[in-house]
Amino acid sequence: RARTSHAHVFITMASWCTAADKAALAASGLAEAAVSVLCQSHESADRRMLSDEVTLAGLASANNTIFLLFATALVFFMQSGFAMLCAGSIRAKNVKNILLKNVLDAAVGAIFWYLFGYGIAFGVPGDGNSNRFMGEADFALGISAVGPSGGNDWIWFLFQWSFAAAAATITSGAMAERTQFAAYLGYSALLTGFVYPTVVHWAWGGGWLSSVPWKKEDGDKSLAYHDFAGSGVVHMVGGFSGLMGAIMVGPRTGRFDAQGRPIAMPGHNAALVVLGTFILWVGWYGFNCGSQGSATSAADAVAIGRVGITTTLAASAGGVTSLFLNYALYKVWDLIAVCNGVLGGLVSITAGCAVLDIYMALFAGFIGAFVLFGSSKLLLKLRIDDPLEAFPVHGACGMWGVLAVGLFAKEKYLGDENNDRYGALMGGNGRLFGVQLLGCVAIILWTCGILGPFFFVLKQAGLLRTSAEEEAAGLDESKHGGSAYNNA
């Protein structure tokens, strides 16, 4: 709007110095030289104003690109955190296998996000009529040197790819130590190329969750599902994918005894678990703060700072709560429980980091620790083996994070102060909670409905699980040329 205003000023000032106007000025007694200088000074000043505005706009665009590129780097660095966390949480004989899967999540994910995922998530046809179920344009970025939106979406493509890679990697932990390598590659391609981007389109790409209709009352016609950085879109998709995979592939040999009681299979390196946790925590600032999507105004700066604080407090509350919860029950100061609690707190705040009050971030992380603990015990009760607690951390805590928005979102942060469509426990009418619950149900049905049958078909074809001999020897020795650790 500012550029339009300044352009209008330029036209007005330039037209003031027409030949007739110059004659009128001369007739008023001004010397010809004075008239010329006067008109020239007006025109030059306005040209400078317009030039300054164009320059500022360019600087704002460049600054925003740098901001999103930095956020992308932080989110992509989370792959290192996932790699260290996964490696430390499993037995030494399978480290190479899970690290290779982590690397290929990024590489395979990039290819399928480019070919299909980005178009399904954000593609809008040339006529501007967006499909409410999935995108239908910009596949392979339009196979164009110009790119979508005249090239403006290059950085957005990269930023969103880093999220897709994170969603895919979540599942590797749930299926660790007994899954065939080729089966995992197929899963990674399917998730990043179709399953995940469809959910992205629903919530962030103009799909049906971004405008859920209600009965017309007081002029209200629709309400948007709110998931600022992806508790549902990213973490529930990854977590429930992992749950389907863990169910279909079955538990590791020896994980449960004949009576169904769990037998401990601790990871081989707690130091790697802690390193991975800290790397993920650092990367989460790119995940949550970067989801502001812009850093060009004072309002953006305030929002980014507040999101950083809510992210920090939720992680801290999750870790500390898990520490004392495990000590109260088992009289052990459990390091791994604290690390998972931190991650559970981070997932719990990801949806609401921009719309919950600061103090509510502590509550989100606190409840997230109990959700993590309860869902973990439920899996063991059901004899579902999830070596990294990927479903409890990402699936269960992700669902809690989405629902927490419906309960505790503050009206002024939603930008909806003229009606009561905000957190139900903050004085809202419950509609937002209803939409958040609907979003959770849709994500669960879609993810499980696609990946459950996918893993089942692989299982029936004998392509999902490694042989008992390979599992006993370790996947590194049987599939990847030897151990990850050379102690010679």
Name 222's bridge partners: 213
CB contact at 8 A, 347 and 378: no
Please state the length of the chain: 488
Helix (H) or strand (E) holding 358: helix 358-381
SS3 324: helix
The count of other CB atoms within 10 Å of the CB of residue 11 is 10
The residues, any chain, with a CB within 8 Å of residue 368's CB and separated by 6 or more, are 314, 317, 318, 321, 341, 344, 345, 347, 348, 349, 397, 400, 401
Relative to beta strand 220-223, strand 212-217 is antiparallel
Burial of 306 (0-12, 13-18, 19+ CB in 10 A): buried
- Label residue 254 left, alpha or beta by phi (over 0 means left) and psi (-120 to 50 means alpha): left
CA distance 285 to 136: 31
CB atoms within 10 A of CB 29: 7
**pLDDT tens for the chain, residues 1 to 488:** 333 333 333 333 343 456 666 676 676 666 676 666 656 644 455 555 555 555 766 777 788 889 999 999 999 999 999 999 999 999 999 999 999 999 999 999 999 999 999 999 998 887 777 789 999 888 888 754 444 444 557 889 999 999 999 999 999 999 999 999 889 999 999 999 999 999 999 999 989 998 887 655 555 567 889 999 999 999 999 999 999 999 999 999 999 999 999 999 999 999 999 999 999 999 999 999 999 998 988 999 999 999 999 999 999 999 999 999 999 999 999 999 999 999 999 999 999 999 999 999 999 999 999 999 999 999 999 999 999 999 999 999 999 999 999 999 998 898 765 466 789 999 888 889 999 999 999 999 999 999 999 999 999 999 999 999 999 999 999 999 999 998 74
Kindly report each contact of residues 295-303 with a partner whose C-beta sits within 8 Å and lies 24 or more positions away, as own/partner: 295/63, 295/64, 295/67, 296/60, 296/63, 296/64, 303/354
Residue 165 near residue 105, CB atoms below 8 Å: yes
The per-residue pLDDT for range 420-449, each reduced to its tens digit, is: 678 999 988 888 999 999 999 999 999 999
pLDDT computed for residue 25 by the predictor: 63
Q: Would you say the pTM of this structure is higher than 0.85?
A: yes
| Cβ-contact 181, 465 below 8 angstroms | no
Q: Are 388 and 176 a contacting pair, CB within 8 Å?
A: yes
Percentage of the chain beyond pLDDT 90 is 71
C-alpha to C-alpha distance for 395 and 376, rounded to whole angstroms: 11
Give the C-alpha distances (Å, rounded to integers) separating 326 from 138, 204, 317, 338.
Answer: 49, 37, 14, 9
Tell which residue, 459, 421, 477, 449, has the closest CA to residue 223. Answer: 421
- Best CA proximity match to 455, nearest among 112, 175, 173: 175
Rg (the chain; Cα; Å): 27
pLDDT tens figures, 262-321: 999 999 999 999 999 999 999 999 999 999 998 988 999 999 999 999 999 999 999 999
Nearest alpha carbon to residue 120 among 167, 65, 160, 71: 160
Its sign, for the CA torsion 287, 292, 295, 299, is negative
Instruction: Decide: 297 and 291 in contact? Cβ < 8 Å.
Output: no
Helix (H) or strand (E) holding 325: helix 298-330
Cα 240 to Cα 477: distance, rounded to the nearest angstrom:
30
Distance in angstroms (rounded) separating the CA atoms of residues 202 and 236: 14
Neighbour-count burial for 39-75, b at 16+ CB within 10 Å, e otherwise: beebeeebeebeeebeeeeeeeeeebeebbeebbebb
What DSSP string describes 219-232?
TEEEE----SS-II
